[in-house]
A and B are shown apart, each in its own frame.
Chain A
């Protein structure tokens, strides 16, 4: 019994032979519909902030510099490639690219930043809200957003109007590290 199972094991090992791929010299093509790193098309994006609101990792940030310019900032270091941003984008401005070889020593290699010119029409920030049918996908923030691009954190606060003190507060924002000292 011992010997037969050993013989079986030898066959088990010999039959398939070598299966290891010669990576990275040759890489396997990714299949259709692969969820790699998201990529933004700035010509399509209307800056509605839907992706930023619904990114589970909170890794898409928005900052309104003035009523006409909104910065959309994607920090790939925290992205988990779920594809939620691409799902909720009403303009199909985000595609999940086949890019997966993303290891890097410099996180700027995997960030993307869009400077969006927002038309002064009042659709800004609201067109997304109107189009969404799913009740639990509603936009939970309206108005101006001042996420901290420095600390790369979403600031859960917005105003209907531009408020310089909130901007100041945001720029000085640090993640809470210690209480008491």
Chain B
């Protein structure tokens, strides 16, 4: 649905309860709506074909006596986004839940129940999502009066209540530490014999409180370096997404050359991430040849980024206003050389992998979801494209220099892990194509960094989406008065894809659990970025907590 017809339908439906305004660019539509019509409007946007991205809750009591809540929708075919905003009075932050109809909104709502003390009436699973189980009731860490380094006393006798297991099933606990999970997360898998009949997820065990930290402690220009460390892989993605959201909010226009360099960094990152995933996927199905070989092919890319950015990872390159380092003619030749080698090697890898029947047997039909359900769960990136959902932020909502570059978006209809594998392999070649084009089309001069001449205006909103290797990363930013964001919301792709995992697991074999979870390339660190303390409370332990703490403290003393 085009923007104009969407506005018309909504105006007809909601009349004076709705205020329509332009966002920072014509591609951003902002709808302010009365709280009573919030749910109805969200459902209407979904029915009109909007893809639910994420919700943003914010504490704005100090400046206007209210809490803010925003639902973000993307209209991918028409290339625009909608921010549906409402607010609730400070005393009664209550909203109607949209999660029964839009399952992808479930976590957002639970997140703000925990962090801001909101109530979402009708949420089907109003359990704790983010806070530790022994976190005292009534303390909501994202509220402004709560200090960023608050550590409440712990309690010994609380534990997460798992969902009711379906009739006749046995519960197999997987995690928090498990060889097939590379980061802590707990899946309670309900099995009937070997078949998975359901699953409950309890994650968010390693919260680092990055959003709160950046809203209270550091200033605008330091956040990119913190944002990079949200993820061990998508450094440039988060730095670029954050920088773009600040640039959009403040109306900063950066140099074209810097946009090209950002594009090149993002694609180099995709190359190394996809090769990394291919290796891990091989490892998860017990096929270590693939693991060894794809990581061998990946290594020259890491060394290349060491020469480009100063260190192995694609960190430290993207800041507000542009980039920090140039791509000199010598580095350009260097990149082309590495790409050529990687292209041949990945070609060999692809031939060897795609025809291997043992891989077919382990991935075809595994983790199947039909396209409609993949859309309902708002799945993203290769996970969605492997299930026939044709979305890609680079093409649908171009940022950096992608509008000038031509590339294909591989889509597979098989709907299973095999589909995501093929999509990722093909994307490697597309990335190589994009980097080559970008090197050709890049303007040869122009500043790398556009200096920000004025103090950034407060309370402007900026939204940015970047296609990370795992799917779309969304950053939403509200500028603040103290040279730092007032609200900075990060939604990494795993946050959305992980919500779809219980559906992917349904009716699969328990032995396929590692590869199904692995197929979304889960990044628990990206997902667990919101809170203030880590959830260390476990109900059963061998050591008394005080003993462990005494041990830990002893070590920490200088």
Please list 24 pairs of residues, one from A and one from B, whose beta carbons are closer than 8 Å in the complex, sorted by A's number: A2-B357, A5-B352, A5-B355, A8-B348, A9-B356, A12-B349, A13-B289, A19-B296, A35-B316, A54-B222, A56-B222, A56-B226, A58-B218, A81-B316, A82-B315, A83-B316, A84-B222, A134-B452, A136-B219, A136-B320, A175-B149, A179-B151, A179-B153, A181-B153
Give me the 10 closest cross-chain CB pairs, A-B, nearest first. Answer: A35-B310, A56-B222, A8-B352, A56-B225, A5-B355, A82-B225, A5-B356, A136-B220, A9-B352, A31-B307
CB proximity of A85 to chain B, nearest CB, Å? 11
Chain A interface residues (CB < 8 Å from chain B): 1-2, 4-6, 8-9, 11-13, 16, 19, 30-35, 54-56, 58, 80-84, 87, 96, 107, 133-138, 140, 150, 152, 156, 175-181
A54 & B221 in contact (Cβ 8 Å cutoff): yes
Number of A-B residue pairs with CB-CB distance less than 8 Å in the complex they form: 117
Whether A136 touches B452, Cβ cut-off 8 Å, given contacts A33-B310, A81-B311, A181-B153, is yes
In Å, the complex CA distance between A180 and B136 comes to 11
A176 & B451 in contact (Cβ 8 Å cutoff): no
Interface core residue of B150, B217, B311 (most chain A CB under 10 Å): B311
Interface flag for B152 (CB, 8 Å): yes
- Chain B residues with Cβ below 8 Å from A87 are 324
CB proximity of B364 to chain A, nearest CB, Å? 14
A150 & B218 in contact (Cβ 8 Å cutoff): no
B310 & A16 in contact (Cβ 8 Å cutoff): no
CB proximity of B453 to chain A, nearest CB, Å? 6
- Chain A residues with Cβ below 8 Å from B26 are none
Interface core residue of A2, A54, A80, A136 (most chain B CB under 10 Å): A136
Closest to B549 in A: A177
- Chain B residues with Cβ below 8 Å from A5 are 351-353, 355-357
A12 & B150 in contact (Cβ 8 Å cutoff): no
In Å, the complex CA distance between A81 and B229 comes to 12
A80 & B220 in contact (Cβ 8 Å cutoff): no
Among candidates B229, B296, B309, B453, residue contacting A16 with C-beta atoms closer than 8 Å: B296
Among candidates B152, B218, B353, B455, residue contacting A135 with C-beta atoms closer than 8 Å: B455
Closest to B222 in A: A56
CB proximity of B176 to chain A, nearest CB, Å? 23
B219 & A1 in contact (Cβ 8 Å cutoff): no
Whether A19 touches B299, Cβ cut-off 8 Å, given contacts A12-B349, A80-B225, A82-B315, is yes
Contacting residues of chain B (342-392) with chain A, CB-CB under 8 angstroms: 348-349, 351-353, 355-358
Whether A150 touches B558, Cβ cut-off 8 Å, given contacts A34-B311, A35-B316, A83-B310, is yes
Closest to A16 in B: B296
CB proximity of A59 to chain B, nearest CB, Å? 12
A180 & B153 in contact (Cβ 8 Å cutoff): yes
